[in-house]
Structure 1
Amino acid sequence: MSIKGLAPVPRHKTLAEDTYDRLRSAIMTGAVRPGEKISARSVADSAQVSFTPAREAIGRLISEGALELVGPKTIIVPQLSLQSLSEIYKIRINVEVMAAEIATPNMTRSLIFKLEETQDELETLRKLDSYQASLELNEQFHFLIYKACNMPRLIAIIESLWLQVGPSFNFLLTPDSLPEDPIGYHRTMIEGLKNNNPKQVSDAICADLEFGFQRLKDLIQSME
């Protein structure tokens, strides 16, 4: 029998859940490279936890396809083929545009302000050649928009796609200067959100994803 008026005790994350979230985020934002070996020891040492939560986190990510068991004790970050990257890109275009169009009328002034702050910081990091840190902010930027659609199942689909493609962002780490195009696309998204214009936002997202995919495709082909 429940007691009316007694609020549930807040449930904090377990070490395994927190380790999983942190490792998952690292994979999504390209902190690990395709083909890189991942061990319970390396995860435990990095997250400063014991082997048990590290093993549980790795096991969950193997089941989600973010990590791959290639031997009895060998776990790696999968390296996607161009065909797989192309498939993911085509799906991303559809689901991310859907999320953004639904989210546009839900974007409050405070959310747009947060988006602008994130973009300002992202641009600062790019100028400092802090590319890895800028990838984390790029993820934050996109999901600030997508999560405003208030459709958790759609967000879960988008996150699963980022989880697969995230490590491939490492291929964009080249000696060449970073192109300015993505900055323009992000600024156009912000403008479209301020104007409550879903088409302007979705067009900018399409351009952003298309540019990123083509650049990634060209770089991978040049390495073959």
Structure 2
Amino acid sequence: MCPTRELANQLAAEARKLLKYHRSLGVQVVIGGTRLPQEQRSMQANPCQILVATPGRLKDHLENTPGFSTRIRGVKVLVLDEADRLLDMGFRRDIEKIITFIPKDRQTLLFSATVSEEIHQISHLAMRKDYDFINAVQEGDEETHAQVNQTYMVAPLGLHLPILYDVLKKHVAEDAEYKVIVFCTTAMVTRLVAEEVKGSHISQLRRICPWCRLS
């Protein structure tokens, strides 16, 4: 399970690459924003061993797809990817419901960039009591490169694009070959930002657009 459609599609694409020489293993994706009957037909025609899903749509299939709740009882491994975002986006109740359908005799992997109290709570619910906690950032380690200057700004949502525009304009004025990576929350926002950047009337900004990567 993962929090967004974009991440689900990305994970499924990577899984298919890894299974390139294992034709007997199939991958399916079930996500919100697509037609439920279409996914039902796809899973019926091409049974899978790996299912990548967003929680809401997975819950829909458990409740509305004939035989799905029975098949999911054969799950051997449950993965909660970006668990902190799953909880931030309000999927806790869906996850709790889904877990009741999955056999307790399984391996569970939970990945999270942060470890909040809610993460501990969902860990106790989804995992065994003797689960192993692995911290990829050792105590005393720098979480980011010490030589990289970092700043952040808190601003109302309506000012995000104007502020981004001013930041890009400043960097382009200093160096026309300046390269920028802009990370956005969703595919829709990414397209919006890309169009705004490409449609800018600043000639220097247009010149750097071919090097801009928005994802």
Relative to its length, the structure with more strand (as a share) is: 2
Instruction: Please confirm whether the aligned pair reaches a TM-score higher than 0.5, indicating the same fold.
Output: no
| Structure with bigger gyration radius | 2
Higher relative contact order (CA 8 A, sep 6+): 1
TM-score normalized with structure 1 length: 0.20
Relative to its length, the structure with more helix (as a share) is: 1
